[in-house]
């Protein structure tokens, strides 16, 4: 997650755009009334509902993009009216998507049959004392047992939902909330290693006053590993705003997005045999895109089976090959926060500001 940012400007780059047509969907879900939320946390004009139509264009920089996304693919709008969508995760056992809406402290569910439905409230802050800021859940993922794990901004922890997904009840088990005796900032995004360890990022975005919050107990912004025995290990404190995180298919490389407008980069870290991080390199530097005024910063990301990276950032979802070459961008025209593979693994769901979207791909995501 990153704070909403820059106004759009015209791009001088030469890209090919697509012509889109409207798409049909299920009947609109009921609007969420103000009585559902703590009054202090209701965004203005908050009214999530089903959406149809399309969003944005496809920017093609390299012919290699055609093997990953068909030139005629459309970015379909599925729902709209949210404050800031984040953390999508596909639940294969049920064929539906879960995603966060951070400020209203809620998780939503979407599926092709029933459309949009509220799923979980509260999702990231369970305290009784009113507080401001980005309080809800951010990154969502399923553990090896299929249980929902949430990066909870407001509660400043990684937590697991105690209940089953068919009857969620906002009761959680804390998995990680401290490092070296000090409270974490606000865990943001995470990914599981095949051995069951959880790698996660901890920027300050969920704190009420961000980096200057007096409640901030850790000086750095860290990338951590939560081992199966509950130990939290700092892997690096050298990133100013660590955000999205993902493994390469062989899990020998860990990718981490840095959502700092002055150093908007994706880093690639060598994963050592003991699970710690070794040599690092800049996979791609999008700082010039930010300086030109393109919406968004490096944020959530996912990897396909071939090792291509689908990374949200300036312009939408940037597509990189494993060498870090920028093949093109799924340009949403909105500040874009995260993405997730779904359906049979060839559909990429995208959370873009107030929208939930999807695009059909020719490639397949890891885990499908």
First-last CA distance in the chain: 25
Taking the model in full, what pTM does it have?
Answer: 0.90
Cα–Cα distances in angstroms (integers) from residue 177 to residues 169, 266, 285, in the given order: 21, 25, 31
| Nearest CA among 295, 338, 361 for reference residue 58 | 361
The answer on pLDDT for 24 being more than 60 is no
d(Cα 320, Cα 324) in Å, to the nearest integer? 5
The answer on pLDDT for 89 being more than 70 is yes
The pLDDT assigned to 246 comes to: 98
By three-state DSSP, how is residue 320 classified?
strand
**What average pLDDT score do residues 196-222 get?**
97
The answer on pLDDT for 183 being more than 90 is yes
- The average confidence (pLDDT) of the chain is 90
The pLDDT assigned to 2 comes to: 56
d(Cα 305, Cα 344) in Å, to the nearest integer? 13
The pLDDT assigned to 291 comes to: 96
Q: How far does Cα 95 stand from its chain's mean position? A: 19
| Nearest CA among 88, 95, 72, 55 for reference residue 18 | 72
d(Cα 87, Cα 105) in Å, to the nearest integer? 13
d(Cα 178, Cα 361) in Å, to the nearest integer? 39
d(Cα 185, Cα 222) in Å, to the nearest integer? 9
DSSP secondary structure, 282-311, as one string:
EEEE-HHHHHTT-S--S--EEEBTT--EEE
d(Cα 85, Cα 357) in Å, to the nearest integer? 10
Task: Count CB atoms within 10 A of the CB of residue 200.
Answer: 27
Unique residue bearing structure tokens 């298919």: 249
**What average pLDDT score do residues 317-329 get?**
98
Contact (Cβ atoms closer than 8 angstroms) between residue 170 and residue 122: yes
The pLDDT assigned to 113 comes to: 96
The answer on pLDDT for 38 being more than 80 is no
d(Cα 43, Cα 41) in Å, to the nearest integer? 6
The pLDDT assigned to 41 comes to: 62
Contacts of 167 (CB under 8 A, 6+ apart): none
The pLDDT assigned to 143 comes to: 97
Q: Please, which pLDDT band fits residue 8 given cuts at 50, 70 and 90?
A: very low
Contact (Cβ atoms closer than 8 angstroms) between residue 7 and residue 296: no
Structure tokens at 129: 């004392």
Contact (Cβ atoms closer than 8 angstroms) between residue 364 and residue 85: no
d(Cα 271, Cα 254) in Å, to the nearest integer? 6
| Nearest CA among 299, 296, 264, 297 for reference residue 282 | 264
The answer on pLDDT for 35 being more than 60 is no
The pLDDT assigned to 44 comes to: 72
Going from N- to C-terminal start, the domains of the chain cover 34-360
The answer on pLDDT for 12 being more than 60 is no
pLDDT tens digits for range 128-171? 998 888 999 999 999 999 999 999 999 999 999 999 999 999 99
CA angle 284–285–291, rounded 5-degree value: 150
The pLDDT assigned to 46 comes to: 85
Tell me the percentage of the chain whose pLDDT exceeds 90: 85
Q: Please, which pLDDT band fits residue 45 given cuts at 50, 70 and 90?
A: confident
Superfamily of domain 34-360: TolB, C-terminal domain (2.120.10.30)
The pLDDT assigned to 136 comes to: 97
Tell me the percentage of the chain whose pLDDT exceeds 70: 88
């Amino acid at each position: 997650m990153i704070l909403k940012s820059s106004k759009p400007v015209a791009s001088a780059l030469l890209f090919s755009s697509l012509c889109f047509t409207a798409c049909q969907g299920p009947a609109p879900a009921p609007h969420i009334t103000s009585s559902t939320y703590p009054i202090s946390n209701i965004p203005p004009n908050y009214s999530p509902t089903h959406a149809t139509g399309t969003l944005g264009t496809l920017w093609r920089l390299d012919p290699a993009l055609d093997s990953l996304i068909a030139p005629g693919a459309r970015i379909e709008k599925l729902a709209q009216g949210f404050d800031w969508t984040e953390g999508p995760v596909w639940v294969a056992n049920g064929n539906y998507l879960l995603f966060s809406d951070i400020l209203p402290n809620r998780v939503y569910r979407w599926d092709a049959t029933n459309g949009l439905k509220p799923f979980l409230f509260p999702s990231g802050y369970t305290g009784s004392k009113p507080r401001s800021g980005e309080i809800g859940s951010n990154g969502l993922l399923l553990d090896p047992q299929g249980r929902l794990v949430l990066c909870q901004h407001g509660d400043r922890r990684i937590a697991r939902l105690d209940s089953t997904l068919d009857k969620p009840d906002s009761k959680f088990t804390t998995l990680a909330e401290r490092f070296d005796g000090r409270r974490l900032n606000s865990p943001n995004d995470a990914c599981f290693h095949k051995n069951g360890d959880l790698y996660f990022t901890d920027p300050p975005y969920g704190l009420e006053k961000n980096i200057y919050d007096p409640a901030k107990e850790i000086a750095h912004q860290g990338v951590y590993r939560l081992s199966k025995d509950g130990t939290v290990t700092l892997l690096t404190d050298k990133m100013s705003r660590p955000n999205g995180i993902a493994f390469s298919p062989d899990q020998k490389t860990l990718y981490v997005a840095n959502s700092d407008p002055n150093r908007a980069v994706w880093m690639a870290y060598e994963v050592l045999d003991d699970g710690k991080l070794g040599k690092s390199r800049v996979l791609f530097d999008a700082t010039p895109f930010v300086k030109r005024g393109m919406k968004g910063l490096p944020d959530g990301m996912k990897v396909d089976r071939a090792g291509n990276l689908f990374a949200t950032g300036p312009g939408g979802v940037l597509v990189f090959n494993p060498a870090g070459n920028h093949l093109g961008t799924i340009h949403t025209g909105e500040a874009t926060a995260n993405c997730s593979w779904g359906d049979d693994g060839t559909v990429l769901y995208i959370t873009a500001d107030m929208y939930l979207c999807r695009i059909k791909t020719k490639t397949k995501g890891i885990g499908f």
